[in-house]
């Protein structure tokens, strides 16, 4: 028995290596939904609360762990997006 149930209908994703995706999904580039960089080149101070600071350890198969990701302040975020 499979761990996950299949979707009722699939469609071509338009991306050769990806193949088919569930009919109701939309394939889009990650950069359309967030800023992707090669790293901050410095480590911002980690906060108890704040904006998610996603690293490769937060990215899994079909998911991004925003809940347990490290958090940074608004000021640290502003500094990072200026780089």
**38-43, long-range: CB within 8 Å, 24+ apart, which pairs?**
40/80, 40/83, 41/83
pLDDT digits (tens, 9 = 90+) for 6-16: 999 999 999 88
Mean pLDDT by 10 residues, the chain (83 residues): 84 91 89 74 88 89 90 91 73
pTM: 0.52
H or E segment at 15? Answer: none
């Amino acid at each position: 028995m499979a761990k996950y149930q299949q979707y009722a209908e699939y469609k071509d994703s338009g991306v050769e290596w990806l193949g088919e995706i569930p009919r109701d999904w939309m394939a889009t580039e990650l950069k359309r939904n967030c800023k992707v960089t090669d790293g901050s080149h410095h480590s911002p101070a980690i906060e108890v609360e704040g904006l998610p600071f996603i690293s490769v350890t937060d990215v899994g198969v079909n998911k991004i762990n925003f809940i347990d990701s490290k958090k940074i302040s608004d000021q640290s975020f502003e500094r990072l997006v200026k780089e």
